[in-house]
Structure 1
Amino acid sequence: MRVAILGAGAIGPGCAALAASRGHDAALWSPSGAGTGGLAGTLHAEGELTGTFPVRVAATLEEAFAGADVALLTVPAYALAGLLARIAAAIPRDMPLLIAPAASLAPLAFARLRGPGAPVGAMATTPITGRRTAPDRVRIAAIRAWSEMGALPGAAAPQMAALAEALFGNRWPVVPDALAAAFINTNPIAHAALALANVTRIEQRETWGQYGLMTEAVCRLMEALCAERDALAARFGHSPPSLVEALHRTNGVPRGPLHEMTRAIEAGRGVIAGPTEMDTRYVTEDVPYGLAFYLALAAANGQPMPVTEAAVTVIETLWGRGLRENPLLEGLDLANLPALLRAG
């Protein structure tokens, strides 16, 4: 297939290399143009995927979409609001779009901008994890064995899962809709708890290991936030994986008490550094498009979330800024979500 990959941080190039390794033709587009600077038709991969792969650089969205069978959008959640309208205006109506991860009802926001068209895939997370080590080099830390796939409309999930599996080789078990996929990502819960507990380390730019500092107390907060997410998800008939299951899936450690699992992760993987800047995505992305997203859904459906509300309020106070604005939700009837998610 020919795939247009929209986003050129670390995940986009890693996905381009993975798709190319499986015989597909990948075109990479950077919203700012900076992410494709230094790429001249080849991308070097190391880590879980090693080799040199052909990757075309697209200067414009129209060039990226030309001749493509499918598109993958993989950018931080805070970049989605500024990009979805551009993509909706340029993408052919019959081209399926995969969004990884499909945070905060991004597929519904995109469909509202585009109008009727091909299905939108709601990926619970990204096909790979990795980082850029040079303009033409990416280190792929992990190729996920599997992750969930929702879709808009909901019934299109098997079709979108088959597309993603053909492109990247992962398995994509389907979930009922895009909201189910959005609930699965536990980063907002873990990252908010870490930011709260380690704000002075972040502010002082200290070096600290995040798994080692998921102590018993921090894990209690994570579990309380997760319990409120689960209760909200149940209002929509969804049951996302637990934090224990999420850590087990991602890191392979035995299931057990959370703080024991996090100690085992650090013992096995070494120190994974936490953020050292107040402008960290743990707050600027995971609060507005994670915890505050839950609160918006809860308010529209009469679901109390006192711990989540308190956590967001305290983080807003510590960071000295509002963190609840979410342009992806503008114009959406959050009290009528099941019908919107089924029909698209």
Structure 2
Amino acid sequence: MRVAIAGAGGIAFAAAAFVSENGHAPILWSPSGQRTAELAAGQALTATGAVSGTYRPKVASSASELVSGADAVLIALPAYGHRTVMDAIAPHVTGEQVVIISSHASFGALYLSKKLAELGTKAPIVAWGTTVTTGRQKSGTEVHVSTVRSKVDMATLPLSASERGLAMCRALFGDRFNEKDDLLAIALSNLNPQNHMGIALCNLTRMERGETWGQHQNVTTAVGRLFEALDEERLNIAHSFDLSVRTVREHYHFSYGVPMGPVGEMAQVLAERGGGPMGPTTLDTRYVTEDAPFGLLPTVLLGKLTNTPATLHEAGLNVFSALYGRDFRKENNLLPELGLENLSKSELQRLAREGWTGAT
């Protein structure tokens, strides 16, 4: 199948390598064109690690070229680029295609649902709780894939298209998907914001100094306790919606195959295995610039909507804003278009199941 991949960073490159390995035909598009310049010039994409090989994905020069003739459209770039990409691809998406968001953040699926509804297009939108692969882009033609996750939570908007959404995900990425109740469950299944907050906040000076440091080994006992305290806030919000979501311990267990236990201990098992991801070496990292406005903020708003305060999440958002000298609350360009803070709990639940077309 033809797989349109919007993005040209580590996740997009890893996805292109993965679907190529599975016999599909990816085409990449970068809004700026800068990160795909070498591939567009004819150089091959080299992947190492959990996916290994040399591949030749096509490169699109426009959103129209990217989407035209694709069976699926994969949005694979940081959340601060989602609105730009969604606005660009929406006029070209058809009801015959499936759009996949890897990974979902800040109710981006609702934003895209609203855009498509305005255009009269009914296409399934699949939201993943996390990415299938983890890794780092090494250059304009190289990506190192650290992990291919064995389980990924997903939901399709609207729920009536769930069978179609699941079938497409399995066809492209294998039998690794766990269907959740609805989009709200996915919004509350994304552990990246809380985990990245713990990692970045507790290792900020390492990042600022540009040190080389292992991520797992620095999720110490104390940092692990912070992970679990943040996790409790997220789980309490999910419980208020009568939703079942994976715990942070289950995330470590199913994603990395380590025995269940306190997060600090599980991380140290991974550290002893070696080969894990390295921590950020700059303050300009998506662990903060993406996850603070597009991850922590939505959780804070959901906590207020359900009278289940996410105190630690909000504290992290405020502390990061102080450390960076910028207001991360104002950097989310998706939520203002949705008016999440003005919705009732039941209205949000309906939207999370039916999408914008089904809302009244």
Specify if TM > 0.5: yes
Q: How does 1:200-279 map to 2 (within 5 A)?
A: 200-270=205-275, 272-279=277-284
CA distance in 1, matches of 2:277, 2:25: 34
CA distance in 2, matches of 1:140, 1:203: 25
User: Of 113, 125, 132, which residue of structure 1 is paired with 2:115?
Assistant: 113
- Counterpart of 1:24? 24
Whether contact under 8 Å (2:68, 2:92) holds in the other structure is no
User: Of 88, 92, 96, which residue of structure 1 is paired with 2:94?
Assistant: 92
The answer for unaligned runs of 5 or more in structure 1 is none
User: Can you list the C-alpha shifts for 1:181-236, whole angstroms capped at 9, x where unaligned?
Assistant: 12222121111122222223333333333322222222222211110111111122
- Counterpart of 2:350? 339
Q: Which runs of 4+ in 1 moved over 4 A?
A: none
CA distance in 2, matches of 1:24, 1:323: 38
Give 3-state SS (helix, strand or coil) of 1:4's partner. Answer: strand
User: Can you list the C-alpha shifts for 1:60-91, whole angstroms capped at 9, x where unaligned?
Assistant: 11111222111111110111122221121232
Whether contact under 8 Å (1:132, 1:138) holds in the other structure is yes
Distance 1:304 1:5, change over 3 A: same
Whether contact under 8 Å (2:250, 2:260) holds in the other structure is yes
Instruction: State TM-score, norm by structure 2.
Output: 0.89
Whether contact under 8 Å (1:16, 1:55) holds in the other structure is yes
User: Of 138, 146, 149, which residue of structure 1 is paired with 2:151?
Assistant: 146
Whether contact under 8 Å (1:157, 1:175) holds in the other structure is no
Give 3-state SS (helix, strand or coil) of 2:70's partner. Answer: coil
CA distance in 2, matches of 1:290, 1:157: 24
Q: How does 1:286-297 map to 2 (within 5 A)?
A: 286-297=291-302
Q: Which amino acid aligns with 1:22?
A: N
- Counterpart of 2:358? none
CA distance in 1, matches of 2:137, 2:229: 35
CA distance in 2, matches of 1:138, 1:88: 28
Distance 1:131 1:275, change over 3 A: closer
What count of residue pairs does the alignment treat as equivalent?
344
Identity %, equivalent residues: 40
Q: Which amino acid aligns with 1:73?
A: I
Give 3-state SS (helix, strand or coil) of 1:331's partner. Answer: helix
The answer for unaligned runs of 5 or more in structure 2 is 356-360
CA distance in 2, matches of 1:287, 1:157: 30
Give 3-state SS (helix, strand or coil) of 1:193's partner. Answer: helix
Q: Which amino acid aligns with 1:291?
A: L
More deviation, 103-112/16-25: 16-25
User: Can you list the C-alpha shifts for 1:32-57, whole angstroms capped at 9, x where unaligned?
Assistant: 11121111274333322333333211
CA distance in 1, matches of 2:24, 2:276: 36
Asked whether 1:137 is paired with 2:142, we answer yes
Distance 1:198 1:128, change over 3 A: closer
More deviation, 129-138/1-10: 129-138
Per-residue deviation, 1:162: 1.1
Distance 1:113 1:214, change over 3 A: same
- Counterpart of 2:62? 60
- Counterpart of 1:312? 317
- Counterpart of 2:335? 329
Whether contact under 8 Å (1:209, 1:273) holds in the other structure is yes
User: Can you list the C-alpha shifts for 1:148-206, whole angstroms capped at 9, x where unaligned?
Assistant: 11011123223211101101224212112122112222121111122222223333333
Per-residue deviation, 1:18: 1.9
Instruction: State TM-score, norm by structure 1.
Output: 0.93
CA distance in 2, matches of 1:320, 1:105: 26
CA distance in 2, matches of 1:182, 1:328: 14
Q: Which amino acid aligns with 1:328?
A: L
CA distance in 2, matches of 1:139, 1:182: 27
Asked whether 1:197 is paired with 2:202, we answer yes
Q: Which amino acid aligns with 2:78?
A: P
Per-residue deviation, 1:127: 2.1
Whether contact under 8 Å (2:188, 2:238) holds in the other structure is yes
